């Protein structure tokens, strides 16, 4: 009996030690995951955090950056960092489907003539090619930039590899294992995923269950390789919510509004209201100075950016013709007007409680205008506590606001210019203090400092006791 009791005590002691050890191991795993997962979602589900701090996605499109050598990559990253961008969208590989003389199974080489693969079945990575991608990601990190990396393009998911279901998974896994410790990486499973369907130009853009599984194979491979360290989405022709909103690997929805007739305020708002709640992003609008009718001007780029964000998007991706191709005269194109204008949107959003701002057209008491016919649309963001409201007015036309829907006894009023990021009075004079202080009663009509095309304005109304800084300066 004594020996049995002693054995029982020893067993209980062992179990206690084992349980404590297991608990410490679990805590260590959780802490390691928290340490390596740079990006996460806010509790509201509508915004991103970077190391626990609000993160505004201000993207630039450089899909074919692998075509540029080290000196060009350094120049590009320094330029985009200086203009306030936070994210660079690029392809990991590219297959030229427009050249009938080039096999769809021969990915395009990088700037040094190196191919991404030494074998396609099973997938074998060419280390020389991927060392250049390593350099791009590390150079971006050095300049404080995040890479949103598209593993492949949509049509490649069905045609690039022999036995695509197996090899899509293997490729995704090999790729994300390579970069699992990169803290400045977000995955785009593919670009324009609907193009896996040859009839992708059809209005419904329906893909089959088999095609959906081929795309999911890439996502599953990426997820297996990085083990939850990186956020993931998929770049669409329309919106990722059409096919993947309920997939657990899809952390946020991405949209493309380039070439679409539907206003982005409608499409962004639709994804914003979906359940389960996921952040939404306009990941490809019209490209500035693209030679087509109508040409996308700096003003049009700003309209798309502010309409997207003020309709619920957690950020915006800008694009410039010639920059996304990384081809001829691309350095000159880096200096297009809207590329500099985009930073003013980021600074405005970061000067207010970005996580508390929600789209709310109900406080507008006048016609909201039109996004397509005359680009006169007004879009509204509002926070509850502390009280704040922002109205983007695309053409500087007068509009009326129900002040009683904004919390606080009195409101400080500012006009903010998306063209230079400075606050102004109604008389179009630069100011450092609010141009008016108003009581939160009734309806008030506001007339922007200037009117017409290229005369877009943001009205900011702040609870006077909230202590918000001058618009465009960080909180």
Average pLDDT over residues 103-110: 76
Average pLDDT over residues 96-124: 82
pLDDT band at 144 (very low <50, low <70, confident <90, very high): very high
Average pLDDT over residues 56-77: 97
Q: Per-residue pLDDT tens for 458-472?
A: 999 999 999 999 999
pLDDT band at 106 (very low <50, low <70, confident <90, very high): confident
pLDDT of residue 475: 63
Phi-psi region of 303 (alpha: psi -120 to 50; beta: other; left: phi over 0): alpha
Examine the pLDDT at 104 and tell me if it is beyond 70.
no
Looking from the CA of 44 toward its CB, the CA atoms found within 13 Å total 16
Examine the pLDDT at 26 and tell me if it is beyond 70.
no
Looking from the CA of 466 toward its CB, the CA atoms found within 13 Å total 26
What is the C-alpha separation between 200 and 215, in angstroms, rounded?
A: 15
Nearest to 80 by CA among 340, 349, 348, 351: 340
Examine the pLDDT at 4 and tell me if it is beyond 70.
no
> Mean pLDDT lowest for which of 155-169, 285-299, 441-455?
285-299
Note whether 39-350 and 356-463 share their fold: no
Q: Looking at the structure, give the CATH architecture of the domain made up of residues 39-350.
A: Alpha-Beta Barrel (3.20)
pLDDT of residue 464: 96
pLDDT of residue 296: 87
What is the C-alpha separation between 157 and 65, in angstroms, rounded?
A: 21
What is the C-alpha separation between 367 and 423, in angstroms, rounded?
A: 25
pLDDT band at 214 (very low <50, low <70, confident <90, very high): very high
Q: Per-residue pLDDT tens for 381-425?
A: 999 888 999 999 999 999 999 999 999 999 999 999 999 999 999
Looking from the CA of 375 toward its CB, the CA atoms found within 13 Å total 21
Domain limits, the chain: 39-350, 356-463
pLDDT of residue 33: 38
Average pLDDT over residues 176-202: 93
Q: What is the 3-state secondary structure (H, E, C) of the chain?
A: CHHHHHHHHHHHHHHHHHHHHHHHHHHHHHHHHHHHCCEEECCCCCCEEECCEEECEEEEECCCHHHCCHHHHHHHHHHHHHCCCCEEEEECCCCCCCCCCCCCCCCCCCCCCCCCEEEECCEEECHHHHHHHHHHHHHHHHCCCEEEEECCECCHHHHCCCCHHHHHHHHHHHHHHHCCCCCCEEEECCECHHHHCCCCCCCCCCCCHHHHHHHHHHHHHHHHHHCCCCCEECCCCCECHHHHCCCCCCCCEEEECCCCCCCHHHHHHHHHCCCCCCCEEEEECCCECCCCCCCECHHHHHHHHHHHHHCCCCEEEECECCCCCCCCCHHHHCCCHHHHHHHHHHHHHHCCCHHHCEECHHHECCCCCCCCCCCCCEEEEEECCCCEEEEEECCCCCEEEEHHHCCCCEEEEEEECCCCCCEECCCCCECCCCCEEEECCCEEEECCCCCCCCCCEEEEEEECCCCCCCCCCCC
Examine the pLDDT at 173 and tell me if it is beyond 80.
yes
Q: Per-residue pLDDT tens for 424-440?
A: 999 999 999 999 999 99
pLDDT > 90: percent of the chain: 81
φ/ψ of residue 77, rounded to 5: -65, -40
Examine the pLDDT at 275 and tell me if it is beyond 70.
yes
Q: Per-residue pLDDT tens for 6-19?
A: 555 554 544 454 34
What is the C-alpha separation between 234 and 256, in angstroms, rounded?
A: 11
pLDDT of residue 8: 52
Q: Are 435 and 415 in contact (CB under 8 A)?
A: yes
Examine the pLDDT at 442 and tell me if it is beyond 90.
yes
pLDDT of residue 327: 87
Higher pLDDT, 27 or 8: 8
Bridge partners of residue 290, in order along the sequence: none
Q: Looking at the structure, give the CATH architecture of the domain made up of residues 356-463.
A: Sandwich (2.60)
Q: Are 39 and 59 in contact (CB under 8 A)?
A: no
Nearest to 222 by CA among 156, 161, 180, 176: 176
What is the C-alpha separation between 47 and 41, in angstroms, rounded?
A: 6
Q: Are 422 and 473 in contact (CB under 8 A)?
A: no
Q: Are 136 and 112 in contact (CB under 8 A)?
A: no
Give the max Cα distance, the chain. 96
Determine how β-strand 280-284 pairs with β-strand 253-256. parallel
Q: Are 79 and 144 in contact (CB under 8 A)?
A: no
Mean pLDDT in the chain? Answer: 90
Place of tokens 């102004």: 424
pLDDT band at 150 (very low <50, low <70, confident <90, very high): very high
Q: Are 425 and 404 in contact (CB under 8 A)?
A: no
pLDDT of residue 2: 42
pLDDT of residue 105: 61
For helices 264-272 and 298-310, angle between their N-to-C axes, nearest 10 degrees:
20
Place of tokens 């074919």: 64
pLDDT > 70: percent of the chain: 89
Examine the pLDDT at 365 and tell me if it is beyond 60.
yes
């Amino acid at each position: 009996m004594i020996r049995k009791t002693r054995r029982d005590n020893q067993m209980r002691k062992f179990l206690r030690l084992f349980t404590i050890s297991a608990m410490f191991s679990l805590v260590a795993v959780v802490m390691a995951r928290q340490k390596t997962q740079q990006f996460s979602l806010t509790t509201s589900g509508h915004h991103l955090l970077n190391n626990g701090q609000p993160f505004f996605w201000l993207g630039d499109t450089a899909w074919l950056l692998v075509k540029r050598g080290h000196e060009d990559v350094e120049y590009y990253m320094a330029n985009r960092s200086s203009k306030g961008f936070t994210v660079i969208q690029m392809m990991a590989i590219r297959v030229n489907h427009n050249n009938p003389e080039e096999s769809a199974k021969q990915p395009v080489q990088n700037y040094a003539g190196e191919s991404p693969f030494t074998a396609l079945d099973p997938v074998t990575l060419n280390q020389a090619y991927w060392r250049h991608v390593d350099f791009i990601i590390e150079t971006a990190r050095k300049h404080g930039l995040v890479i949103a990396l598209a593993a492949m393009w949509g049509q490649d998911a069905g045609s690039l590899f022999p036995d695509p279901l197996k090899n899509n998974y293997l490729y995704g896994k090999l790729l994300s294992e390579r970069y699992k410790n990169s803290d400045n990486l977000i995955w785009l499973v593919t670009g324009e995923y609907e193009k896996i369907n040859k009839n992708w130009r059809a209005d419904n853009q329906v893909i089959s269950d088999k095609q959906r599984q081929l795309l999911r194979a890439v996502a599953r491979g990426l997820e297996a390789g990085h083990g939850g360290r990186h956020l993931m989405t998929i770049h669409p022709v329309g919106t990722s919510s059409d096919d993947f909103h309920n997939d657990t690997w899809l952390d946020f929805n991405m949209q493309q509004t380039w070439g679409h007739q539907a206003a982005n305020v409608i499409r962004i708002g639709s994804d914003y209201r979906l359940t389960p709640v996921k952040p939404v992003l306009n990941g490809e609008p019209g490209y500035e100075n693209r030679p087509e009718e109508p040409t996308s001007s700096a003003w049009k780029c700003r309209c798309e950016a502010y309409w997207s964000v003020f309709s619920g998007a957690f950020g915006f991706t800008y694009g410039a013709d010639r920059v996304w191709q990384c081809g001829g005269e691309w350095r000159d194109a880096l200096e297009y007007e809207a590329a500099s204008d985009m930073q003013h949107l980021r600074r405005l959003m970061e000067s207010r409680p970005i996580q508390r701002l929600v789209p709310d057209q109900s406080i507008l008491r006048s016609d909201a205008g039109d996004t397509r016919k005359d680009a006169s649309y007004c879009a509204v963001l509002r926070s509850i506590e502390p009280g704040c409201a922002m109205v983007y007015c695309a053409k500087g036309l007068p509009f009326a606001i129900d002040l009683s829907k904004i919390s606080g006894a009195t409101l400080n009023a500012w006009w903010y210019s998306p063209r230079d990021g400075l606050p102004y009075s109604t008389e179009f004079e630069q100011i450092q203090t609010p141009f008016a202080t108003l009581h939160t009663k009734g309806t008030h009509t506001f007339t922007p400092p200037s009117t017409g095309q290229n005369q877009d304005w943001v009205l900011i109304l702040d609870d006077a006791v909230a202590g918000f800084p001058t618009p465009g300066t960080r909180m």
